[in-house]
Amino acid sequence: MNTNKHVNNEHIIELKNVTKYFPGVIALKEMSLKIKKGEIHGLIGENGAGKSTIIKILTGVHQSDKGDIYFENQKISFLNPVDAINVGIGCVYQELNIIKELNITDNIFLGCYLQKKNKLLDYKEMHKKTKQIMESLGQDINPEEICGNVGIGLQQMIEIGKSILNDSKLLIMDEPTSSLSGNEIKQLFKTIFKLKDRGVSILFVSHKLEEVFEICDTVTVMRDGEHISTYPTNKVNQDQLITDMVGRSLANLFPKEIAEKGDEFFRVKDLTRLGLYQNINFEAYAGEVLGFSGLVGAGRSEVFRGIFGVDEIDDGEIYVQGKQVRIKSPKDAIKNKLAFVTEDRKGQGLILNESVNNNLNIAVLDFLRKWIFIDKKARQRNSNRSVEELKIKTASINSIVGTLSGGNQQKIVIGKWLNTEANVFIFDEPTRGIDVGAKIEVYKLINELVKNGKCVIMISSELPEILGMSDRVIVMRKGKIMTEINRDSSQFNQEDIMAAAWGVVK
């Protein structure tokens, strides 16, 4: 756990009774927040709690409708993001603002290039400063390296480098570990502590409570746009934070219900794609949750992209309810009653600039056709039912999906497939990037599916989730199946599953 070393009692920023309205929604309601100088301050809450709105107000993207903001005891008002940068507020967004075609120096100095006396750009000095900044973050880099050639972890460090160049006094980090590997997360945390040592304040926005306890001095909980509580992290426990976030106690984070196992619904035989996976064999049954575990790069998602017809396969057979089928496209998969909730909800699962209504019905347009027309009443019934049953928070079914919170977007991806006649539901990282309350709702939905005789295949990198919800687990490593473990086996535990993921099968 982090300590309060280097934290003083002066506040870098204070929000007093800040309120923000959007059409049909009160995003923030008299929200108050204080962050001390040199403090790592966690901000948590369910999706839709108002965290993103706080970030946008602090960075000048939105302006508050009521309330006051003080930065270093001076009342401020940002008209645009440049105003926020100029006073010393930086932000590393979950969706990185990296221009991948440019090199590291260009990305760090974008908008504030150094010039020589003859007005030419002084790349020699900029490369030098870039190298110094990145070395201060523990990164030995070539400043002329193209950003598209480096990993997500280094791209994130480049974003932090921009804030150092701008002398940021407050750095906001929005879900900074969501796309990072274990080693990249460790490096990020080292960097955060280095910034803290320099007196930089950090607002750490995360869904991962274990990370909040690991690095934050203080944590603030939001719910429904309001301030609920603030605690020193060494004086609160996870149960209390969860209760504050959702307004109720969640004694069981994984509400697993055992359903009656039915007939074989799905089977693959010797599925292979050269260079990615080979000789994949498994079957899945009605009434069960089949978990797929493994390290990043094990090939789990690639297998199911091949099964669903997103990518080609080189060899192998696919059977649905005992009958061999040929799946060359997602359309073929849907006809064979398969559903695929992709891990990349924004890139592949949703059309962000379209409405909730259109997104919820995009997988069933063929069923909604009357001649060449769409049955608009049936489409609206589908959407209204999904919004009610999944408790999707939206002003209306005509709201643009890109304006909703991550948890509500994930519910729409799931709702899209529930509107089909699927028997086999493939969930790829179903709870990534959503809060604990939304996770519980996804788990309950999985329970309902298997109770109703459906088959659920769940790919997850979260071992507690795999153990909490699976009836059977298949562990993959480097494109191969290492082992299969039943829920009633003595090997159904974190240690044995992780050992298999590393290549050690007991």
Q: What is the pLDDT of residue 238?
A: 84
Cβ-based neighbours of 505, under 8 Å, separated by 6 or more: 482, 483, 499
Residue 439: predicted pLDDT = 82
Residues 6 or more apart whose CB falls under 8 angstroms from that of 463 comprise: 293, 494, 497, 498
Tell me how far apart the alpha carbons of residues 95 and 494 are, in angstroms, rounded to a whole number: 31
Entry pTM: 0.63
The whole-number pLDDT of residue 88 equals: 92
Residue 249: predicted pLDDT: 59
Map residue 150 onto helix, strand or coil.
coil
- Helix H segments across 110-235? 123-136, 152-165, 182-197, 209-215
Q: Which residues of the chain have pLDDT under 70?
A: 1-8, 47, 248-252, 345, 347, 364-372, 506
Sheet arrangement for strand 480-486: 338-341, 424-428, 455-459, 289-294, 472-477, 480-486
C-alpha radius of gyration, the chain, whole number: 24
pLDDT attached to residue 367: 66
Angle between helices 436-451 and 238-246 (to 10 degrees): 80
Residues in CB range of 138: below 8 A, 6 or more apart: 187, 190, 191, 194
Sheet with 170-174, edge to edge strand ranges: 89-92, 170-174, 201-205, 40-44, 218-223, 226-232
H helices of 199-277, where?
209-215, 238-246
- Give me 16's structure tokens: 């007093």
Distance CA 501, CA 474 (A): 10
Question: What single-letter amino acid sits at 73?
Answer: N
pLDDT of residue 472: 97
Count of alpha carbons within 13 angstroms of residue 370, beta-carbon side:
6
For residue 61, CA distances in Å to 56, 77, 225 come to 5, 11, 17
Q: Take residue 205 and report the two structure tokens written for it.
A: 């926005």
CA distance 466 to 494: 9
Q: 10 Å Cβ neighbour count for 500?
A: 24
The pLDDT, as a whole number, for residue 293 is: 93
